[in-house]
Amino acid sequence: MCSPAGDPTARFVIGTLAMAAVAALTLAAQADHQERRAAAHAGTAPPLPPLPAPGPPPPFVRPPVAGTDPRPEPQPVHAPVQAPVIPTPPRRPPPGYQLTHAAPASPVPRFGAGAKAQQLPWRLPAQPSPVPGIIADEARLGALTVRAASLIGPGHRCEDPAVVRQDAYRLGRDAAGEHLVVAVADGLSSSPRADLGATVAVSSAVATVVEQLRTGVRPDQLSAAGLFGRAAQRIRDEAAARGLSDRDVCTLLIVAVLPTRFRGNESQPCWVGWIGDVSLWQHDGGRWRVAAGDPKQDDAGLASNALESVLPHDPDAARSCLLPLAPGDVLTLVTDGVGDGLAGLPALNGFLAREWAGPPAIADFINHIGYDAAQFTDDRTAVTVWADTANPDNTTPTPAPRWER
């Protein structure tokens, strides 16, 4: 037989009876207290102290549901939570403090004492410009590997406000991937919008060559006068649309059309057209040798910046040639910011011959053309091409797989 203490129903009944008994006793005590107070008023009994306030009623016990455990569920014990440690913020400099500039250790190669402008901080142009201070590309097309970069020169970027980068380049290809098209332009510093002239020149030249290749024109059939004439007209049109004159957008230009596939070690013709002292150099053992482009005019033994022909004024003065390109050859198209260094700094020529014997990492390539040398502070642009048959990309690309959702 079960004990009443273990029977839930019995416990409920006992609790209810206990509450009733407490209520009855409370009523009896109150009645007795009232009788004694009445007697006290009548003088027959001493006055009584006031009745203490009744305590809280006993808790109501809900009847348990059949089939459940009436015992209370154990409560989880929580470990004490430590308050997070909030670091004290660093103290801000007082208002009106001055930032000091310390030139960091530069990864660019230095020749001689270097240029003072190289150590100065970069500035921004007076007006927002779509031309960034640095632009770079790397690519592989057929048997050709490409590194390309254009960098604002120290003499332009340290001015306040800075001068917008006036060099430009473009890369292109025909639809079949048989030819790589490279254009490099050097805007004249004497033209206030040389950046516009250079940008339009390279864009027009690459687009014109790609279109002519599409219609079946071979590279050896290209006309320098026709190609540069179309570029000159595009430059004039863009200048006129902005209210500029031809003198505001002067630039130099070099264009190359390179074959991307070879038969064994046989060379293929490479077409090059240019106007001005932008140039093409070939890697010749441990040195770079100029192969195309007008040389600097010599003035009493010093290289002069005087130019006889520029775009858009003299497109008919453009020249062209065919150069052999064979597996293992390396060539680079440069503006005079790099070309002058190759011609005038034997140490730089040898350095780039070693570093560019094979394709470097693109970040290293940018640093290379950002070399530091006194009196060499112009914008720098180089597009370097390596012809290799070790891993020719001559196969038709495999279509990408189609995924089902």
Predicted pLDDT at 23: 74
* Structure tokens given for 320: 């062209």
Average pLDDT over residues 209-233: 97
Segment of 19-28, 54-63, 258-267 carrying the highest mean pLDDT: 258-267
pLDDT above 80 for 387: yes
pLDDT above 50 for 299: no
pLDDT above 60 for 371: yes
pLDDT above 80 for 108: yes
- In this predicted structure, which of 6-15, 182-191, 321-330, 370-379 has the lowest mean pLDDT? 6-15
* Structure tokens given for 252: 């130099």
Share of the chain above pLDDT 70, in %: 72
Q: The dihedral of CA 355, 361, 365, 227: what is its sign?
A: positive
The conformation of residue 384, written as its DSSP 8-state character, comes to E
Angle formed at CA 169 by CA 330 and CA 297, multiple of 5 degrees? 75
94 band by pLDDT with thresholds 50, 70 and 90? low
398 band by pLDDT with thresholds 50, 70 and 90? very low
Better-scored residue on pLDDT, 102 or 365: 365
**Torsion angle in degrees (nearest 10) through CA of 344, 347, 349, 355:** -160
Share of the chain above pLDDT 90, in %: 64
403 band by pLDDT with thresholds 50, 70 and 90? very low
CB 317 within 8 A of CB 253: no
Predicted pLDDT at 14: 76
CB 251 within 8 A of CB 186: yes
Q: Which amino acid is at 121?
A: P
Q: Which amino acid is at 3?
A: S
* Structure tokens given for 1: 């037989």
pLDDT above 80 for 15: no
pLDDT above 80 for 381: yes
Average pLDDT over residues 203-231: 97
Predicted pLDDT at 280: 98
Q: Cα–Cα distances in Å, from 239 out to 3, 124, 163, 231, 403? A: 108, 24, 19, 12, 48
What span, in angstroms and rounded, lies between the C-alpha atoms of 122 and 65? 81
84 band by pLDDT with thresholds 50, 70 and 90? low
105 band by pLDDT with thresholds 50, 70 and 90? low
pLDDT above 50 for 60: no
Average pLDDT over residues 20-27: 74
Predicted pLDDT at 285: 87
Average pLDDT over residues 23-31: 73
Q: Which amino acid is at 39?
A: A
| H or E element in which residue 192 lies | none
- In this predicted structure, which of 83-92, 272-281, 353-362, 365-374 has the lowest mean pLDDT? 83-92
Q: Cα–Cα distances in Å, from 207 out to 228, 233, 396? A: 12, 14, 24
pLDDT above 70 for 103: no
Mean pLDDT over all residues of the chain?
84
Segment of 36-40, 155-159, 311-315 carrying the highest mean pLDDT: 311-315
Average pLDDT over residues 326-334: 97
Predicted pLDDT at 399: 45
CB 272 within 8 A of CB 256: yes
